[in-house]
Structure 1
């Protein structure tokens, strides 16, 4: 299927590894030009090198996009972004009573405000062209708040709210705004986390994964971690002109973890 992404410019925040890189790669393979973003120039350069055979071009921008001055600098360098994927995010299992105010603020700044700010920066150019895509990478944790990461779940719920509100704002235009909700996904951070816990418990990664979906995420219907590429496939479609009738939606790639048909 041709997703008709040639000549589109996409920004994927936090895209040097994991889900972010998989999304950037999927878009580039469909012919879109992509802006790779990470905190360090070395990480950005490494990611760009991996895209050398893609149909679309890859550009780089190193910097922490949770910082306002960095986001402004990016918008000044690339003012005409067609597709904005707000993927930048952090997570951390932590008991509620051990989460200080500073962590709540940090999670909100990185996971929510970074996407709000980037959307505010790039929306006017989309409105001028009457075409654009804004996508927030949320999580199944937005709906089924995990007791071990309440601060994380809060930010993911907020992303869905922002996405729906922006979709209402641009109603009747060629701009769509959606959120995508991955379930447990074996991104780099999760993979490292799983490997560490597995070693601590003297288990193989496969044994840990099986136990995780029996005890921690028992509602999963696929009974495994999704791959970043499986999430990226959904995002690439939503970013395309073919998805023009899908907006204001919270789209699940959660392996059936959310126990609801609606």
Structure 2
């Protein structure tokens, strides 16, 4: 039961409780935690974005579930949380990117775009009649040969990462990143690492149909979503590796 002194501070509008908490923002973070796992990894050769889009019914067309989006030629984003909220944020990001390009005649910097989206998120924690966005975004891209990866929070907070995850499997995925991430990784190695993290986060329930992968390569500075055949190839390698690891463990015992 909610403590009496906190009653009313999470109703309708976002206001501070006596102990300095914003309950609506905390509830929005819980919505993100209930979402499927999304990950981003930065490498010397570019950015990797991976999402787990497992469905609750075999009747759902998995191709209709989109959780990785292209924002500009050189920027992509992976989402977790309320899908409708994420879609609204992505549309705003695309508009901001195009407005910047028309105004300044050059592509928007990845950090500038991430800050603009976080500014919008922050406004929705401060104005009456609105609620915070129940979605977090991992925004990754290449600008002038430099890879950038940011995680945005429903509060409007912004943190740059080398590798990060959002959603229900964040804790398990971050453990994998902490243990296995290395500076100077190739793009293929970054994809393998991200899939390894997804495998752990989903307790081994990983398949080509449930995973979506996008990359922004440093050489081209272009966003590209991997085909189903490419994803299947990476998943087959992952499953084979995990199977070999299990056999080695059993033989040692």
Q: Compute the TM-score of the two structures, normalised by the length of structure 2.
A: 0.31
Of Structure 1 and Structure 2, which has the larger fraction of its residues in helix?
A: 1
Of Structure 1 and Structure 2, which has the larger fraction of its residues in strand?
A: 2
Greater RCO, 1 or 2 (C-alpha within 8 Å, sep 6+): 2
